[in-house]
Structure 1
Amino acid sequence: MLYENLEVWKRSRALAIQVYQTLSHCRDFGFKDQITRSALSVPSNIAEGCERMSGKERRRFLDIAKGSIGEFKTQADIGIAVGFIPDEIGKRWLAEASELSKMLKGLIRSVKD
């Protein structure tokens, strides 16, 4: 399974890039560090899982990616509420994160032992 061919990896990578670019000037370094790390974790764990040899290991890393997208959604929601993330951008991120979560759920179910 080549992760570079997976739509969920491509889209989560694009989301992580958007997060880094949008928040590059955010002065709350704790918030910026946390949300960029959760966004970066999604495509990174998809890639790591796809490089694993066993289905059990693959699922484990995909589960971590799914957890990271949930973490990202919470941080984006809070970032919108406190004014770190513009409403329109934040709503797009939340919608994309929900779609990525569904895609990961399907991918996890498809992984065989």
Structure 2
Amino acid sequence: MKYLRYQKKFPAHEKYKLVDQIIRSSRSVTANIAEGHGRFHYQENIQFCRIARGSLLETFDHLTVALDENYIQQDIFEELVSKNEELSKMMNGYINYLKNRKKEN
């Protein structure tokens, strides 16, 4: 991800704290989507998607801390938050799709 280059602007003491948390929470999103899809059961898939959505919010919180601590600039924060919000809408749409498919079966 091109945004990982911004981690170089974080102070050394945050490289293995906040930067690590941002990376882990953002990677957790796709990992939970994949795990839910692999369960082949609508309700479990929905649950893992909800966990993924929670990881999106966790990532948002970490980005807010980075902004508050002046580790990232406002424009970078806004761009990342915009992408986060777009992904959140996609997750909500996918969860609704799964709920509808569950009702049909």
TM-score by length of 1: 0.76
CA distance in 2, matches of 1:48, 1:24: 31
Alignment match, 1:75:
62
Alignment match, 1:4:
none
TM-score by length of 2: 0.82
The question of whether the paired residues in 1 share the 8 Å contact of 2:36 and 2:48 is answered with: yes
Alignment match, 1:57:
44
Alignment match, 1:32:
19
Structure 1 residue 86: Cα displacement: 2.4
Matched, 1:101 2:91: no
Show structure 2 runs of 5+ residues with no match. Answer: none
Structure 1 residue 44: Cα displacement: 1.5
Deviations 1:36-73 (A, max 9, x none): 11111111111222222100111111101100001111
Deviations 1:3-37 (A, max 9, x none): xxxxxxxxxxxxxx244343156321211111111
Letter in 2 for 1:71: E
Structure 1 residue 74: Cα displacement: 1.2
Show structure 1 runs of 5+ residues with no match. Answer: 1-16
Which of 3, 22, 30 is the equivalent residue of 2:6? 22
The question of whether the paired residues in 2 share the 8 Å contact of 1:39 and 1:72 is answered with: yes
Identity of aligned residues (%): 30
Please give the root-mean-square deviation of Cα atoms over the aligned residues, in Å: 1.6
CA distance in 2, matches of 1:22, 1:82: 14
CA distance in 1, matches of 2:3, 2:44: 28
Which of 56, 66, 83 is the equivalent residue of 2:53? 66
Where 2:72 maps in the other structure, the secondary structure is coil
